[in-house]
Structure 1
Amino acid sequence: MKTAILISGRGSNMRALVEAAKAPGFPAEIVLVLANRADAAGLEFAREAGLATAVVPRRDHEDDASFEAAIQAELEKAGTELVCLAGFMRILSASFVETWRDRLINIHPSLLPAFRGLRTHERALAAGVRLAGATVHYVRAEMDDGPVIIQGAVPVLAGDDAKTLAQRVLAMEHRIYPQALAWVAGRKARVVGEKVILEGAGEDKNAFLINPPSLPKS
């Protein structure tokens, strides 16, 4: 399945997807890396990897509609069938999301529906949760909303600050996003009644969760 990745910065999750897609038999082909910032560091990696890239800055367009139309044009030109958001720091309109309904996925650094939005790690620490993590989900019009494809959990350790927790969660993101892309591009994940059904998983809900390693014994 021809896949485009949208980024705004370093694109570490984009790199994980690109590396995964190199594997023989992987069901997604990365056909475009698009950024809304010309200085997005991930663009250099994409170019060095031989991938097609595009830059569509919001400031070059008079309104969000024309900005999204320009993105849509680039996606169509690349023959895109599936879109992955990987640190794309723009809220997309309901119209754009509906155009790509069930063909647009995102990764968020929390166990949704907890901690939607920004500063997820600070908020998780402030709430005193014992597990943090990341979620890959189909995108809906509401921010950080939509059917969950997979989640990965990591322990919150004594002495964690936002930086150390973020590093642990990011490592999990790099594990679960390629898995989610493989399921979606391979047509093993489908949305039924706003829930994701995974072919072959049956009633095994653990198929959608990568658990943390065992905690150290006290």
Structure 2
Amino acid sequence: MSDAAKLKSIVVLVSGNGSNLQAIIDACEQGKIPAKITAVISNKAQAYGLQRAKTAGIPAVVVDHTAYLTREAYDQQLLAQISKFAPDLIVLAGFMRILSHEFVENFQGQMLNIHPSLLPKYKGLHTHQRAIDAGDQEHGASVHFVTADLDDGPVVLQSKVPIFENQDAEELAERVIVQERQMYPLVVKWFCQDRLIMLNNKAFLDGIELEEQGYAAN
């Protein structure tokens, strides 16, 4: 079997700039991740992540959510588009859609997301401001498997940054994004190396069940 035949297929879903997408594109091109991104799909035609895909020679697909009357109808079309590429892994990289339970169940254990908080804290939106308003001393990001409940799947990896005095949400977000660009390709690599799995709603790395906050290098 050739090296190319061993590569996993990844489909990335984006809604915006796609900075984490770019980090994963770069890692694949550098051979750090044994995978090929076979498609980038967005719910927004103007998402810059689509241009990143085109620049890298990756098929860029738009499934516009405004063209569908219900979440379920949209998700059925999204599922149909994803299935064309037969991915081993689906990576959510700033995909600003709440996915239906039926959609998520189709890809149990095959879908990863990155969320800008130290889960289980601050699920949903505006996480940076919420951490500041709460007086937290640290903030960060979490990579987790996707399950039916929002931002609730088992955590694989977290990265923390201190919250400085008088720091605003925009400055904090920029520092968290730097961490995200390092974390996400690493977790994707683990999955594509068959080291990372989800079993019974738990994350396992190298056969060892991860703690609630995910992997920690002690």
**TM-score w.r.t. length of structure 2:** 0.90
- Give 4+ residue runs of structure 1 displaced > 4 Å after superposition: 200-207
Aligned to 1:110: 117
- In the alignment, the residues of structure 2 paired with residue 186 and residue 75 of structure 1 have an alpha-carbon distance, to the nearest angstrom, of 22
Aligned to 1:121: 128
Query: Do structure 1's residue 46 and structure 2's residue 53 form an aligned pair?
Result: yes
- In the alignment, the residues of structure 2 paired with residue 203 and residue 60 of structure 1 have an alpha-carbon distance, to the nearest angstrom, of 40
Quick check: 1:28–1:186 contact (8 Å CA) kept in 2? no
Secondary structure of the 2:38 match is strand
- In the alignment, the residues of structure 1 paired with residue 118 and residue 11 of structure 2 have an alpha-carbon distance, to the nearest angstrom, of 25
Quick check: 2:33–2:188 contact (8 Å CA) kept in 1? no
Aligned to 1:215: none
Q: Which amino acid aligns with 1:160?
A: Q
Q: Which moved more, 1:166-175 or 1:156-165?
A: 156-165
Query: Do structure 1's residue 12 and structure 2's residue 19 form an aligned pair?
Result: yes
**Post-superposition CA distance 1:8-53 (Å, at most 9, x none):** 1111111111111112262221000000011111111110110011
Q: Provide the alpha-carbon RMSD of the alignment.
A: 2.1
1:56-67 → structure 2 map (5 Å cutoff): 56-67=63-74
Task: State the identity as a percent.
Answer: 38
Q: Which amino acid aligns with 1:65?
A: E
- In the alignment, the residues of structure 1 paired with residue 213 and residue 147 of structure 2 have an alpha-carbon distance, to the nearest angstrom, of 24
Q: What is the deviation of 1:68?
A: 1.2
Query: Do structure 1's residue 34 and structure 2's residue 41 form an aligned pair?
Result: yes
Aligned to 1:177: 184
Aligned to 2:85: 78
Query: Do structure 1's residue 138 and structure 2's residue 135 form an aligned pair?
Result: no
Aligned to 1:199: 206
Q: Which amino acid aligns with 1:80?
A: P
Change (3 A) 1:207 1:100: closer
Secondary structure of the 1:208 match is coil
- In the alignment, the residues of structure 2 paired with residue 125 and residue 161 of structure 1 have an alpha-carbon distance, to the nearest angstrom, of 8
Secondary structure of the 2:133 match is helix
- In the alignment, the residues of structure 2 paired with residue 210 and residue 115 of structure 1 have an alpha-carbon distance, to the nearest angstrom, of 24
Quick check: 2:10–2:38 contact (8 Å CA) kept in 1? yes
Aligned residues: 211
- In the alignment, the residues of structure 2 paired with residue 210 and residue 43 of structure 1 have an alpha-carbon distance, to the nearest angstrom, of 35
- In the alignment, the residues of structure 2 paired with residue 29 and residue 130 of structure 1 have an alpha-carbon distance, to the nearest angstrom, of 38
Query: Do structure 1's residue 96 and structure 2's residue 84 form an aligned pair?
Result: no
Q: What is the deviation of 1:59?
A: 1.7
- In the alignment, the residues of structure 2 paired with residue 203 and residue 43 of structure 1 have an alpha-carbon distance, to the nearest angstrom, of 34
Quick check: 1:11–1:42 contact (8 Å CA) kept in 2? yes
- In the alignment, the residues of structure 2 paired with residue 203 and residue 81 of structure 1 have an alpha-carbon distance, to the nearest angstrom, of 22
Quick check: 1:136–1:150 contact (8 Å CA) kept in 2? yes
Query: Do structure 1's residue 164 and structure 2's residue 171 form an aligned pair?
Result: yes
Q: Which moved more, 1:167-176 or 1:181-190?
A: 181-190
Q: Which amino acid aligns with 1:195?
A: K
- In the alignment, the residues of structure 2 paired with residue 91 and residue 181 of structure 1 have an alpha-carbon distance, to the nearest angstrom, of 21
**TM-score w.r.t. length of structure 1:** 0.90
Alignment partner of 1:22 out of 22, 29, 54: 29
